[in-house]
Amino acid sequence: MRIISISFPNGRTLQEIAQVVDVEAVKGCDVVALPETWLGLSEHDPEPLDGTTITTMAALAKKHYTYIVCPIDRSDGNHRFNPSVLIDRAGRVVGVYDKLYPPWAELDADSPIEVGLEAHVFETEFGRVGLAICFDACLLGFWKRLADQGAELVVWSGAYSGGTTLQAHALMNHFYVVASTQKSDCTVYDIAGEEILYEKGTDLNVTHITLDLDKGIYHHDFNLEKRDTLLEEHSADVVQEKRFAREQWFVLKARRPGVSARALAREYGMEELHGYIDRSRRRIDKIRGWAFVDGLRYRLHD
């Protein structure tokens, strides 16, 4: 799948950015990502989902048959939120993620930002997409919630660059992370936490990225014999792209279009790394007599 990350400081107008989206999206893409509250917070009156910004971007999404991740300063009656809005290829709003972790400056403002209630992952035809915003990068549990919902890609819209905090989340949760920032830069981390791209402009930065969301990452435990059989019987279809000897991980990818490496791995009984780790934790916690509900630990018995 193809992503365009457009990064720039606050101060651009809706008309300017709409023109950039129009020019870039015609080159072909599945998602266009924009920075956090790119029209501003303090200087800009909040607007509803049917306001000018989302209406304008929805028309471009439909015109270019692409999804757009469009953060806005959102009003809902007397409430104010800092969300990322997901617009689909038909120009429909199919997802709204209100930032769970606004920083103190937003909470203490004269017109404060209200906190969101849930981490969201949205189903698309190319994979499961999670949304995250700025200070969310500092909270570990938030990213695990995205992973537990099956996120394969997280689009992070930020006022700053994110850096190694984003890398840590990609590494520990095994999904891609793509950034769009007010610092005119874009970083991309893969499912093993490796930085595969970094681009920075002096003002407006446009990054075109192609990702393979079908790649799967696996632990050696219980998978090596199954992997070897899979690669022997489907040598024309699947290849081991990388092996991480110290971590005891490996990555499988398809050799050709029309083949799903992850689906074939499931047919051979292989379990992806995030699922293996989570299943192991649940099993061990059960032996220990613990259960976790909404991140809190409870004893199952005395």
Q: Specify whether the CB–CB gap between 67 and 88 falls below 8 A.
A: yes
Write the DSSP assignment of 6-53 as a string of letters. Answer: EE--BTB-HHHHHHHHHHHHTT--SEEE--TTTT-STTS--B-TTSHH
Q: Give 197-248 pLDDT, tens digit per residue.
A: 999 999 999 999 999 999 999 999 999 999 999 999 999 999 999 999 999 9
Q: Domains of the chain: which residue ranges? A: 2-210, 216-278
Average pLDDT over residues 89-108: 91
Q: What is the pTM of this model?
A: 0.92
Residue whose tokens read 């035809």: 125
Q: d(Cα 159, Cα 162) in Å, to the nearest integer?
A: 9
The pLDDT value recorded for residue 227 is 98
- Counting every residue written for the chain, the total comes to 302
Q: Is 256 left (phi over 0), alpha (psi -120 to 50) or beta?
A: beta
Residue-by-residue DSSP string for 121-145: EEEETTEEEEEEEGGGGG-HHHHHH
What's residue 109's pLDDT? 77
- Say how far apart CA 188 and CA 209 lie, in whole Å: 8
State the average pLDDT over residues 268-284: 93
Tokens read off for 208: 């075109």
Residue 56 contacts by C-beta under 8 Å, 6 or more apart in sequence?
14, 18
> Any idea which architecture 2-210 has in CATH?
4-Layer Sandwich (3.60)
211: left (phi over 0), alpha (psi -120 to 50) or beta: beta
- pLDDT per residue as tens digits for the range 169-199: 999 999 999 999 999 999 999 999 999 999 9
